[in-house]
Amino acid sequence: MMPKSLLLLLLPTLLLAQSPTQLPSHNLMPVPASLRFGGVRVPITATTTVALKGFVDDRLRAATFRTMRRLEGRTGFTFTRELAPEPSSATLVIEAQAAGKAIPSIDEDESYTLDTSEAQVPLRAPTVVGAMRGMETFLQLLSGDRQGFFIPGVRIQDAPRFQWRGLLIDVGRHFEPVDVIKRQLDAMAAVKLNVLHWHLSEDQGFRVESKKFPKLHQLGSDGLYYTQEQIRDVVEYARMRGIRVVPEFDMPGHVSSWVVGYPELASAPGPYEIVRGFGVFDPAFDPTKDSTYKFIDTFIGEISALFPDAYWHIGGDENNGKQWKANPAIQAFMEKNKIADVHALQTYFNQRLLKILDKHKKQMMGWDEIYQPGLPKQTVVHSWRGQKSLFDAAKQGYAGVLSAGYYIDLLETAARHYAVDPLPADSGLSADEAKLVLGGEATMWGEWVGPETIDSRIWPRTAAIAERFWSPRDVKDVDDMYRRLGTISMQLEELGLTHEKNVDMLLRRLAGTRDVAPLRSLVDVVEPVKGYTRGSQQKGTTLLPLTHFVDAASTDAIAARQVTSEIDALLNDPRLMITRDRLKARFTAWRDAKPGLDALIDRAPGLVEIAPLAKDWADMGAVGLEVLQLLELNVTPDAAWRDAKIAVLDQAGRPKAALSFPFVPSMRELVFGVMERSALATEPPAQWRARIKTLANPPRRGRGGH
């Protein structure tokens, strides 16, 4: 073994020798702004201690306590619960300079540095929040080998790229109990997100106790709401983790649940009921009555006391204007006040709302429909319809937050969201304008998630989005992102997240048995239908139990991704030899899975809907095996064979039970690949490969057209 002193001498050289592409693999997510490996490995043992140096408060103490308990959980060690009296003797030395903002703020300094020195990990930060961000990095650094646990030699200087890194949770459509929200906050902190955007009212539910207007929660929530004490508890829980809580009470539309108890707020007489379906509904506040504003003033006066954050989200989206157009008094008001259309009327509403928010010292934020001529400059535009409105708004001097591209309820893959940048290099914004792009928010809309499934719809995918918001723009290697995401996903479980463990639980419930291996194999190769198409396959209401097979499926089916990459590897190899054995095992397993699945389906009517999927899967396995055999025999099949196989794949390509096989396009490539095999002798491989892709999955006409 090299003496430590020698290692120290070598250290600068080792660091200098590293170029970014030579970095050893690590599990950090988000990737720090500056990260260099090398130097001293710090062992983590049963005698590991922590010291607090510099500024210390309850929040730092509690975060340190939690960090050490998580470290205990992972290592199995029992550490001392005393802080090390002498920093020089401690393993982890946390040195914060100051408390930071009293109330979590957009202006918080979240930076920190973490670098190993001989036998110590010094973590330094200007604020307690920065120190907390660094503690998460520390936990992600924990590594192990036969010698034991350790923190590898690193030098990290880190700070976020964007100051607004949020997750929206819609508890209006499906209520989520306090413990569900708290574990999301823990997970957010773990990946350095700093804003919980809490969408608290919807047509389908009003979720906050109001003492001034008790019929809001009494009649608008089915009994599923947060007491004011619970709200305070969650806000404090978030503060302890350096997370802001921005409440949203959507208005003037999306207010059905309000007007069940207070129909006089609406622009049509009512009566109203809590909405069970999904979509855009007519009820809208009457913006022409002073009583409406008086109600809102009193309401905001009461509820804003629960939310110390500087911002207040007014929603403002998807008001269809129908009630306004149908109400003669409103029409007369518009004529009298020269309000041209419903958009202008909504701007009028927003202007009056702004005055109320000013009075209650809240800064207004709203969805991008509110970006209309006359919008007050201090308003923050929350863009859900596209980046253009964000950049347009920035050019006009409005600050903005991006959610277009981060709609995780669309059930797109992590890779797809990861590719969206709130501020791409070609944004066309000046440096000053670019500063107005505050960051982004992933949006967990609540149509199809409940307490048992929301974790798996948010995590681990949202960790990839969190990285997009925190890490430098050029961190964008998708394969490496997925590799790290796998590890982070396990770590999130230690915070009580259920995204991994509820998969088998849901399958066991469906099957009524512990032996769900065949179901697990199937669920690992399917993905829920993307976009808002589940509703076309299953009756979409808030009352549907979210216990179907699709609820167990992940948006990023691991095995499906492997199949795709194996087929890709096979077709990229001019001799089509690579991975053949692995694919053969896979296709055989698909073909042979059907009897096991059928046996389960026979006893479990809840699984009948997946019988066609089981058949498609087996059929695709047979197609795959045929292709491999043809390759082996060096035979090129005829067009009739191809048409028959493509017909099978067409059938398999149609969603069933709200699920689809994401690798059907790859299977089509396989079929065309074997058809065109002989061309490989003469055609350049890259050209051949591109041709196969187009042959197999021709670009659809009109797609993306004008």
Question: Which of 74, 232, 325, 689 forms a contact with its own copies (CB under 8 A)?
Answer: 74
Which of 207, 548, 561, 645 forms a contact with its own copies (CB under 8 A)? 548
Are 553 and 659 in contact by the 8 Å Cβ rule? The answer is yes
Which range in 159-167, 348-356, 376-384, 544-552 contacts its own copies by CB under 8 A?
544-552
The single residue among 106, 601, 667, 692 that binds its own copies, judged by CB under 8 A, is 601
Span from 74-82, 84-92, 350-358, 415-423 in contact with its own copies (CB under 8 A): 74-82
Q: Which helix (H) or strand (E) holds 105?
A: none
Minimum separation from the CB atom of position 645 to its own copies (A): 30
Q: Which residue, 480 or 504, is less far from its own copies as judged by CB?
A: 504
Q: Is residue 488 packed enough to be buried (19+ CB in 10 Å), middle (13-18) or exposed (0-12)?
A: buried
Q: Work out the widest C-alpha separation in the chain, in whole angstroms.
A: 88
Give the list of residues 6+ apart from residue 427 with CB closer than 8 angstroms, or none: 387, 391, 434, 437
DSSP 3-state assignment of 33?
coil
First to last CA, the chain: 67
Q: Rank residues 365 and 492 by Cβ distance to its own copies and give the closer one.
A: 492
Amino acid 220 reads: G
Active-site choice (72, 318, 676, 683): 318
Segment near its own copies (CB under 8 A); pick from 29-37, 121-129, 486-494, 661-669? 486-494
# residues near its own copies by CB under 8 A: 48
User: Near its own copies by CB under 8 A, which window of 238-246, 356-364, 512-520, 561-569?
Assistant: 512-520
CB of 542 to its own copies, least distance (A): 10
Query: C-alpha dihedral over 259, 265, 268, 274, to 10 degrees?
Result: -10
Question: Site residues for its own copies, window 607-636 (CB under 8 A)?
Answer: 608
Structure token digits, residue 416: 């797809």
Q: Which of 115, 317, 493, 676 forms a contact with its own copies (CB under 8 A)?
A: 493
d(CA 79, CA 446): 41
Say whether the peptide bond before residue 271 is cis (omega within 30 degrees of 0).
Answer: yes
Q: Which string of x and - marks every residue 375-414 that binds its own copies (by CB under 8 A)?
A: ----------------------------------------
Site string for its own copies, 552-581 (x = CB under 8 A): ------x-----------------------
By the rule CB under 8 A, 605 interacts with its own copies: yes
Interface region with its own copies, contact rule CB under 8 A, candidates 14-22, 145-153, 188-196, 685-693: 145-153
By CB under 8 A, name the one of 82, 86, 107, 145 that touches its own copies. 145
Which of 20, 21, 85, 146 touches its own copies by CB under 8 A?
146
Instruction: Determine how β-strand 154-158 pairs with β-strand 34-37.
Output: antiparallel
Q: What is the spatial distance between Cα 216 and Cα 202, in angstroms, rounded to a whole number?
A: 11
Specify the stretch interacting with its own copies by CB under 8 A; choose among 120-128, 339-347, 358-366, 535-543: 535-543
| Binding segment toward its own copies, per CB under 8 A, in 82-90, 105-113, 416-424, 508-516 | 508-516
Least Cβ distance, residue 141 to its own copies (angstroms): 13
Tokens of 465: 């989005």
- Decide whether 394 or 658 has the Cβ nearer to its own copies: 658
Residue 138 CA to residue 94 CA, distance in Å, equals 11
Instruction: Single out the residue of 112, 149, 213, 617 in contact with its own copies (rule: CB under 8 A).
Output: 149
What b/e readout covers 674-688, taking b as 16+ CB neighbours within 10 angstroms?
bbbbeebeeeeeeeb
- Residue 513 contacts its own copies per CB under 8 A: yes
Please enumerate in sequence order all residues whose Cβ is within 8 A of that of 562, keeping only pairs 6 or more positions apart, or say none. Answer: none
Q: Which stretch binds its own copies (CB under 8 A): 66-74, 151-159, 338-346, 359-367?
A: 66-74
**Contact pick of 11, 56, 505, 695 for its own copies (by CB under 8 A):** 505
509 binds its own copies (CB under 8 A): yes
Report the nearest approach of its own copies to the CB of residue 114 (Å): 20
Name the minimum Å distance from CB 171 to its own copies: 18
24 binds its own copies (CB under 8 A): no
Residue type (1 letter), 482: Y
Q: Which of residues 168-187 bind its own copies (CB under 8 A)?
A: 179
Let me know: does 394 contact 379? Beta carbons within 8 Å: no
Q: Single out the residue of 355, 349, 380 nearest to residue 366, CA to CA.
A: 380
Any bridge partners for residue 367, and if so which?
382
Sole binder of its own copies in the list 78, 82, 107, 474 (CB under 8 A) = 78
Cβ–Cβ under 8 Å, residues 29 and 191: yes
- Angle separating helix axes 664-675 and 685-696, nearest 10 degrees: 120
As measured in angstroms, the least distance from the Cβ of 55 to its own copies is 23
Residue 541 within binding range of its own copies, rule CB under 8 A: yes
Using alpha carbons, select from 453, 439, 643 the residue that is nearest to residue 534: 453
Asked about 302 being catalytic, the answer comes back as no
Among 514, 700, 703, 706, binds its own copies (CB under 8 A): 514
| Residue 512 in the binding site for its own copies (CB under 8 A) | yes
With CA atoms as reference, report the closest residue to 570 among 561, 579, 562.
Answer: 579
Q: How far, in Å, CA of 62 to CA of 50, rounded?
A: 13
508 binds its own copies (CB under 8 A): yes
Q: Is 290 exposed, middle or buried (0-12, 13-18, 19+ CB in 10 A)?
A: exposed
C-alpha–C-alpha distance, residues 168 and 166, integer Å: 7
Q: In what order do the strands lie in the sheet with 143-145?
A: 42-44, 148-151, 143-145
If you search the block for the tokens 């059930």, which residue do you land on?
411
* Comparison of 81 and 361: residue with beta carbon closer to its own copies: 81
Helices 228-240 and 58-75, packing angle to 10 deg: 80
Question: Which residues of this protein are in contact with its own copies, per CB under 8 A?
Answer: 69, 72-78, 81, 144-149, 179, 486-487, 489-490, 493-494, 498, 500-502, 504-505, 508-509, 512-514, 539, 541, 543-545, 547-548, 558, 601-606, 608
**Catalytic positions:** 318
